[in-house]
Amino acid sequence: MVLSSSSTMKRFSGKVAVVTASTQGIGFAIALRLGMEGASVVVSSRKPTNVDNAVQQLADHGITDVLGVPCHVSDAQQRKRLIQSTLDEAVPHMPRGSSITMISSIAAYQPQATMTMYGVTKTALLGLTKALAAELAPDIRVNTVAPGFVPTHFADFLVRNEDIKKAIEEKTLLGRLGKTSDMASAVAFLASSDASYITGETLVVAGGVPSRL
């Protein structure tokens, strides 16, 4: 992964970033970007081996202030353990006044069986972002990134089939598929003080593909 020169900034020095579903794909790219910008990073996913591998990969990039915690975010007790582990092991090593940034992937969210399909649509995500922002303001900001077509392992068919890949690229104003680093850059902006007056918003990062958000 090639990081832009802007990633040499240290916007997250003295901050702790908890990134769920962060052992590969977009989540890992976000953890890497925030770590490169000085954050103390907490990575998690369901499988302990994946967590250990992610911690090692981050260390290989020179990011050593990392805590790995296995966590299935649909399990309330595991979510509590994730946060408690962060408070017990990551936060005490940070300077007084440090803040925590929580970044969670909707891909890791498992809705209740009683929820309708509407509950997992983009409209519901927009509404959730607005509602949480209103509930947690003014002390906590809540924003969402809506990715375009990014060929992670969940969507590698986009690059396996050349016809599908070409069709998507032709619909994209920038003429290419998205990269995990594109999403990480957007998240880093929204999580930083550069976006201190932004909350309750959804940022579409899709290369110019028309959206209906």
CB 103 within 8 A of CB 30: yes
Has residue 211 been placed in a domain?
Answer: no
List, in sequence order, every beta strand (DSSP E) within the chain.
15-19, 40-43, 66-68, 99-103, 144-147, 202-205
Examine the residue annotation and report whether 118 is marked as an active-site residue of this protein: yes
Has residue 212 been placed in a domain?
Answer: no
Interhelix angle 180-191/25-36, nearest 10 degrees: 50
Task: Count other C-beta atoms under 10 Å from residue 180's C-beta.
Answer: 21
32-63 pLDDT, tens digit per residue, is 999 999 999 999 999 999 999 999 999 999 99
- Domain holding 13, by residue range, is 5-205
Q: What is the CATH number of the domain that holds 125?
A: 3.40.50.720
Active-site residue identified among 95, 117, 118, 139: 118
Has residue 98 been placed in a domain?
Answer: yes
Q: How many whole angstroms separate alpha carbon 30 and alpha carbon 23?
A: 10
131-168 pLDDT, tens digit per residue, is 999 999 999 999 999 999 999 887 777 788 899 899 99
Q: Tell me which amino acid residue 97 is.
A: G
Has residue 92 been placed in a domain?
Answer: yes
Q: Could you tell me the pTM of the whole model? A: 0.87
Task: Count other C-beta atoms under 10 Å from residue 82's C-beta.
Answer: 22
Has residue 177 been placed in a domain?
Answer: yes
Count Cβ neighbours within 10 Å for each residue of 149-160 and write b for 16 or more, e otherwise.
bbbbeeeeebee
Has residue 55 been placed in a domain?
Answer: yes
DSSP 119: G
Has residue 213 been placed in a domain?
Answer: no
In the chain, how many domains are there?
A: 1
Has residue 210 been placed in a domain?
Answer: no
